[in-house]
A and B are shown apart, each in its own frame.
Chain A
Amino acid sequence: MFPRIPMLNYDVVVIGGGPAGMAAAVRAKELGLKVLLLDENDHLGGILPQCIHPGFGLHYFREELTGPEFAARLARKMVELGVEYKTAARVLEIKNYSDLEKVVVFTSPSGAYGVWARAVIYAAGARERHAFEIGIVGDRVSGVYTAGEAQTLMDIYGIMPGREVVIVGSGDVGLIMARRFALEGAKVKAVIELMPYPGGLARNVIILRDFDIPLYLSHKVVEVRGRGRVERVKVVKVDENLNEIPGSEFWIEADTLIISAGLVPNVKKLTAIGVEIDPSTGGPVVNDRLETSVPGIFVAGNALLINDLVDYVAEQGELAAEGAREFIENGGIGSRKWVKVEKGENVRLLAPHYLSGDRDVYLYLRVARPMEDVELRIPEIGKKMKLPVVKPAEMLRVKLKAEEIRKAEKLTVEVVRV
């Protein structure tokens, strides 16, 4: 099929060398699979090497690490186990010939190759929403960066992007970048949040107070103006329906605008082979082995759904590897029946979408709006969990027992006031 490019042979190809991919490759190797990991960066670790702040690994390694430390631990495990990997290797295409025959075509500085594989674990992460996607108009000038790009500039390349900064979005990434800029001596003039509540984890919202950074809730940036460089940004207040309030506009002078308006799973390579996408997560519809609607294609990490903790990402990588092993050994992921999990009251998104009842699973979900003194309920199996507070920023992770799942025809997850 590719007579003129070198063909390699593996049980499983892992696409992406971030925490999900590395954890998947490690687990696959431990399970005895012949595994190849491909990553397009020059280094392993995905985004973690630029996340120089602490807060990683409390669940997965039971100790607090920085991003580079977290990445290094997984990378070391890969090396110790002899997991094969290629960096600077970009996947051009996944071809799905049949359930157990897939070809991953990639290019690298040593050339283009095809890899025959029986299963693929897709862990290619997410991308950030940019200024155009959130409807900002005006001039196209230097000084407008996504938070991740600013972080790359500062913490990989050592470039200071600007002096006076406005940040769009009070999610974790936006808040961490607010602190990062402040620590380098920049003036963070405002964090602008569309919703009436902050978007990040409580431990990160404190940053604003620590560094005396103004937070504008129920506001949005609508326009950026400048000649070569950002000179000022226009902010407007919104009402409870997120409609702009006429006459509430004001300008903030700044030379830098950082967009931290959320992440979108990278799924184009998957949709190209017909993988079904859940519009609410932006990632694939998966079963409890994190297998997509195309048999033998597994997905983990932020390509599945946007996680708040790297620990969950790594956990998903392991789960996908276990799925790949089962798929290869049994010629598929089988189940007597699939129990569909549905979103109920105040659940914005969840995964996995189908459960077999053959094993215990973690459900990952996010609420649509913050609430206090609530219960997470799955009425079909009489499950109830008390929670003092829920926020869209914090992912909920719920363990379900195999026997609980087996009892049900379907499951509905809801978060309701007690």
Chain B
Amino acid sequence: MKTKVAIIGAGISGASIARVLSKYENLEVHLIEKAPDVGWGVSKANTALIHGGYDDDPDKYPTRAKLCIRGNRLWHRWVKELEIPHVWNGALIVATREEDFDELERLLERGRRNGVPEMRIVDKEELFHLEPGLTKEAIGALWVPIVGQIGPIPAVIAITENAVANGVKTHLETEVTGIRVENGEVKGVETSNGFIEADIVINAAGLYADRIARMAGIDYFEIHPRKGEYWIFDDDVPGPRRVLFPTPTPISKGIVVTTEISGHLMIGPNAQDLPPEEKENLATTREGLEQVWEGAKKLWPQLPPRSKVIRTFAGLRPEPTGGDFIIRAEEEVWGFINVAGIRSPGLTSAPAIAEEVAEIIQRDLGIQLREKSKWNPYRREISHLFMMSPEQVNEAVKRNPSYGKVVCRCNNVSEGDILEAIERMKLIGVKTPSVDSVKFRTKATTGTCQGSFCRPKIVELLAREYGVEPWKVTLKGKGSEIGVGDVKALLRGDA
């Protein structure tokens, strides 16, 4: 008989857990998500870094310290198996004052304890060789070559697609309303779409992990949101080759300057603690963005004119009571596993978190996991016109002429790319057509014009493929429809 597992939250943690658990033939895995698509919570808006593992103090935050470096190592394999966009460009933690070197020495020592390879302190000359555009105030840096960057939502999508291919069932637009516990054992999950029976419930609900835990009667922690804001600039603005950090302070890793994987200079985040009830407050603010600007300028003095910004955004990190990741089977409710407070470096740690959860299921719940004889570790990325040579385009148009037709001109995204994205959306159970779902799979609408040319065309394709009226296509799920009706709707009075 199969053990039924319900994972709450299809973010980077939940999806990674689903993928790892899909390896076992005696598990039936359900991945439950309230949003219309995967990766739209905490995983959506962050610095997209695969951290080096030198940052977390193993005495204060042992789980973070252990899982970050392990996660970094696993990502090197996962990005290849799953064809996730990535770059391993290394990080520089930059000193601008003599006393910063004391902190860099501490980080170096901590990194060694955590098992981080190849780190060293570089002098000024080598630093400017690595990164010529840095502030002239820089006097040295800690060089961490294993740091990298990935596309966080593309990663969640890739992992989910692979998990589904290996038998995981997704339940999107399904909000958890209760956890059924009988005689100290979980029995399942009440949702907006009915009851899902489960022997094991894994709480990977991000910002809402405290609320979910309370549904199971566990209330020893609280999650509060910590907001970080970002600027992204046009792709013709020169950025650094490495990930640049300032020397950290006791409260923050500081404002990062980096060229994100699509080639855009990105700066951020600041850190602003919000009260626990503000878990939906993703608004950017003047003050926050200014703070980021000032911080970034200290490392990267040649920031572009403000007119070169193409997007600003904010993300929320789930800060748990105590500060360390909470990853454990709760003793008072058999079968309930918390994966809570997955703040930075949560993206980095996700694959390691997933393996940890498999370990917990065996060790603490005593369920012997039996590996499938055929488990497919691979997932193919969709086509991207912008990665094809003209010769490859000609091969692709033989299959389907839409691969030669550009829809998003800023990023050269073809109609064929978009149709593939829509097909993949349907494959993992995306029910509400949204422009954002296409955006995260294809990069359409993320360029210089921010979608003002291509969004209507994408809406048309989504409407056609989903069989809905075009104005009912959404930007990012129900309540964000593109329009209110056809052009005569208001005059007729029926909108």
**Residues of A near any B CB (own CB < 8 A):** 2, 4-5, 40, 88, 90, 92, 105, 107-114, 127-133, 135, 137-142, 145-146, 148-149, 152-163, 184-186, 222-223, 225, 227-229, 255, 268, 271
Q: B376: which A residues are within 8 A, CB to CB? A: none
Choose one: A137, A145, A186, A228; the contact of B452 (CB below 8 Å). A145
Q: A162: which B residues are within 8 A, CB to CB? A: 483-484
A114 touches B459 (CB 8 A): no
Choose one: B390, B474, B485, B486; the contact of A107 (CB below 8 Å). B390
Interface: B77 (CB within 8 A): no
B483 touches A159 (CB 8 A): yes
Choose one: B284, B470, B479; the contact of A227 (CB below 8 Å). B479
One of B10-18, B113-121, B165-173, B403-411 contacting the partner:
B403-411
Q: Roughly how many angstroms separate A158 CA and B456 CA in the complex, as a whole number?
A: 10
Closest 4 CB pairs of A and B: A228-B479, A185-B490, A112-B390, A228-B480
Interface: B307 (CB within 8 A): yes
- Can you list 21 A-B pairs, Cβ within 8 angstroms, ordered by A? A92-B390, A109-B402, A110-B401, A112-B390, A112-B394, A127-B448, A127-B449, A127-B452, A131-B450, A132-B312, A140-B313, A141-B475, A142-B476, A142-B480, A142-B482, A146-B452, A149-B453, A152-B456, A153-B483, A159-B483, A186-B490
A227 touches B449 (CB 8 A): no
Q: Roughly how many angstroms separate A77 CA and B465 CA in the complex, as a whole number?
A: 37
B286 touches A111 (CB 8 A): no
| Given known contacts A108-B404, A268-B236, A130 and B452 CB-to-CB distance under 8 angstroms | yes
Q: Roughly how many angstroms separate A131 CA and B307 CA in the complex, as a whole number?
A: 11
- Nearest residue in B to A3 (C-beta to C-beta)? B391
Choose one: A111, A130, A184, A229; the contact of B487 (CB below 8 Å). A184
- Interface residue SS majority, chain B: mixed
Q: A137: which B residues are within 8 A, CB to CB? A: 283-286, 289, 312
Among A127, A148, A157, find the residue whose CB has the most chain B CB atoms closer than 10 A: A157
Q: A185: which B residues are within 8 A, CB to CB? A: 490-491, 493
Interface: B385 (CB within 8 A): yes
Q: A152: which B residues are within 8 A, CB to CB? A: 456
B283 touches A161 (CB 8 A): no
B406 touches A90 (CB 8 A): yes
- Nearest residue in A to B306 (C-beta to C-beta)? A135
| Given known contacts A5-B390, A268-B236, A107 and B404 CB-to-CB distance under 8 angstroms | yes
B486 touches A160 (CB 8 A): yes
A5 touches B412 (CB 8 A): no
Closest chain A CB from B460 CB (angstroms): 6
Q: Roughly how many angstroms separate A36 CA and B451 CA in the complex, as a whole number?
A: 28
Q: Mark B426-447, 1 if CB is under 8 A from A, else 0.
A: 0000000000000000000000
B486 touches A227 (CB 8 A): no
Q: A145: which B residues are within 8 A, CB to CB? A: 452
Closest chain B CB from A381 CB (angstroms): 36
- Give B272-328 interface residues, CB cut-off 8 Å to A: 280, 282-286, 289, 306-307, 309-313
- Nearest residue in B to A271 (C-beta to C-beta)? B236
**Residues of B near any A CB (own CB < 8 A):** 236, 280, 282-286, 289, 306-307, 309-313, 385, 390-391, 393-394, 397, 401-402, 404-406, 409, 412, 414, 448-453, 455-456, 459-460, 470-471, 474-491, 493, 495
Q: A112: which B residues are within 8 A, CB to CB? A: 390-391, 393-394, 397, 404
A229 touches B456 (CB 8 A): no
B311 touches A132 (CB 8 A): yes
B397 touches A111 (CB 8 A): yes
Choose one: B394, B474, B487; the contact of A158 (CB below 8 Å). B487
Q: B453: which A residues are within 8 A, CB to CB? A: 127, 149
B474 touches A142 (CB 8 A): yes
Closest chain A CB from B14 CB (angstroms): 23
B406 touches A229 (CB 8 A): no
Among B285, B394, B470, find the residue whose CB has the most chain A CB atoms closer than 10 A: B394
| Given known contacts A139-B283, A157-B459, A40 and B313 CB-to-CB distance under 8 angstroms | no
B483 touches A227 (CB 8 A): no
17 further A-B contacts with Cβ under 8 Å, apart from A158-B486, A160-B484, A185-B490, are: A5-B390, A90-B409, A108-B405, A111-B393, A111-B404, A112-B397, A127-B448, A135-B306, A139-B283, A141-B475, A149-B453, A158-B487, A159-B456, A161-B482, A185-B491, A223-B283, A228-B476
Q: A2: which B residues are within 8 A, CB to CB? A: 390
B481 touches A160 (CB 8 A): no
Q: Roughly how many angstroms separate A89 CA and B171 CA in the complex, as a whole number?
A: 40
- Nearest residue in B to A138 (C-beta to C-beta)? B283
Q: Roughly how many angstroms separate A242 CA and B460 CA in the complex, as a whole number?
A: 40
| Given known contacts A5-B391, A133-B310, A137-B285, A161 and B452 CB-to-CB distance under 8 angstroms | no
Q: Roughly how many angstroms separate A105 CA and B394 CA in the complex, as a whole number?
A: 13
A222 touches B286 (CB 8 A): yes
A149 touches B391 (CB 8 A): no
Q: B310: which A residues are within 8 A, CB to CB? A: 130, 132-133
Q: B307: which A residues are within 8 A, CB to CB? A: 129, 133
Closest chain A CB from B387 CB (angstroms): 12
Q: A90: which B residues are within 8 A, CB to CB? A: 405-406, 409, 412
Q: B490: which A residues are within 8 A, CB to CB? A: 160, 163, 184-186
- Nearest residue in B to A4 (C-beta to C-beta)? B391
Among A114, A154, A160, find the residue whose CB has the most chain B CB atoms closer than 10 A: A160
Q: B481: which A residues are within 8 A, CB to CB? A: 142, 228-229
Q: A141: which B residues are within 8 A, CB to CB? A: 475, 480
| Given known contacts A133-B310, A137-B286, A160-B490, A149 and B455 CB-to-CB distance under 8 angstroms | yes
Q: Roughly how many angstroms separate A141 CA and B479 CA in the complex, as a whole number?
A: 10
- Nearest residue in A to B434 (C-beta to C-beta)? A142
| Given known contacts A40-B406, A105-B390, A159 and B313 CB-to-CB distance under 8 angstroms | no
- Nearest residue in A to B473 (C-beta to C-beta)? A159
Closest chain A CB from B307 CB (angstroms): 6
- Nearest residue in A to B478 (C-beta to C-beta)? A228
Q: Roughly how many angstroms separate A130 CA and B232 CA in the complex, as a whole number?
A: 14
B405 touches A109 (CB 8 A): yes
| Given known contacts A5-B394, A107-B404, A138-B284, A154 and B487 CB-to-CB distance under 8 angstroms | yes
- Nearest residue in B to A127 (C-beta to C-beta)? B449
Q: Roughly how many angstroms separate A12 CA and B444 CA in the complex, as a whole number?
A: 31
Q: B450: which A residues are within 8 A, CB to CB? A: 130-132
Choose one: B309, B393, B455, B480; the contact of A132 (CB below 8 Å). B309
Q: Roughly how many angstroms separate A228 CA and B455 CA in the complex, as a whole number?
A: 17
- Nearest residue in B to A279 (C-beta to C-beta)? B305
Choose one: B460, B478, B484; the contact of A161 (CB below 8 Å). B484
Q: Roughly how many angstroms separate A109 CA and B489 CA in the complex, as a whole number?
A: 35
| Given known contacts A128-B452, A159-B459, A159-B482, A109 and B488 CB-to-CB distance under 8 angstroms | no
Q: Roughly how many angstroms separate A6 CA and B280 CA in the complex, as a whole number?
A: 53
Q: A113: which B residues are within 8 A, CB to CB? A: 390
Q: Roughly how many angstroms separate A189 CA and B455 CA in the complex, as a whole number?
A: 25
Closest chain A CB from B186 CB (angstroms): 32
| Given known contacts A111-B397, A159-B487, A148 and B385 CB-to-CB distance under 8 angstroms | no
Q: B480: which A residues are within 8 A, CB to CB? A: 141-142, 228-229
Q: B397: which A residues are within 8 A, CB to CB? A: 109-112
| Given known contacts A2-B390, A107-B385, A139-B282, A159 and B470 CB-to-CB distance under 8 angstroms | yes
Closest chain B CB from A284 CB (angstroms): 15
Closest chain A CB from B311 CB (angstroms): 5
Q: B452: which A residues are within 8 A, CB to CB? A: 127-128, 130, 145-146, 148-149
